[in-house]
């Protein structure tokens, strides 16, 4: 068992050592955008937790088992929470992908 853990750790370390600077920079840009937009979309961590719970409740409401109790919930709040999370993740991932393709053009000597 220890050998399996050791081999897994060596594989992860090998992947991290062979990754290019461009990939690290792109992931960094994506995380930076996620951090900056977090405050814009969600005021604090409790608001994010509430939106995550609302998104999970929306999935339960879509199932046919809870169909009779749909009138108990304000569907607009749940849909808005889901939309905020999707837009936040989309902006962050999209920024990382765009950085991967744009950084070599902006800084050709740094990312060869």
Element (H, E) at 69: none
Task: Report the predicted TM-score, pTM, of the whole model to 2 decimal places.
Answer: 0.74
- The answer to the question of residue 99 being in a domain is yes
Share of the chain above pLDDT 90, in %: 37
CB atoms near residue 92 (< 10 Å): 20
Distance of CA 60 to the CA centre of its chain: 22
What does the alpha-carbon distance between residue 35 and residue 47 come to, in Å, rounded to a whole number? 15
- The answer to the question of residue 32 being in a domain is yes
Domain that holds residue 88: 21-106
What does the alpha-carbon distance between residue 41 and residue 35 come to, in Å, rounded to a whole number? 10
Q: Residues 56, 64, 51, CA angle at the centre, nearest 5°?
A: 15
pLDDT at 68: 59
* pLDDT, the chain, mean: 84
* Total domains present in the chain: 1
H helices present in the chain, as ranges: 2-18, 21-41, 45-62, 75-106
Most confident of 13-17, 63-67, 72-76, 83-87: 83-87
């Amino acid at each position: 068992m220890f050998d399996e853990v050791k081999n897994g750790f060596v594989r992860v370390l090998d992947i991290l050592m062979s990754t290019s600077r461009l990939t690290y920079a792109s992931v960094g840009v994506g995380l930076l955008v996620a951090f900056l937009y977090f405050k814009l979309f969600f005021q604090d961590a409790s608001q994010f937790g509430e939106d995550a719970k609302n998104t999970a409740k929306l999935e339960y409401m879509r199932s046919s088992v809870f169909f009779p109790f749909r009138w108990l919930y304000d569907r607009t709040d749940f849909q808005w929470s889901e939309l905020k999370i999707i837009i936040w993740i989309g902006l962050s991932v999209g920024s990382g992908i765009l950085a991967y393709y744009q950084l070599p053009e902006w800084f050709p000597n740094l990312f060869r």
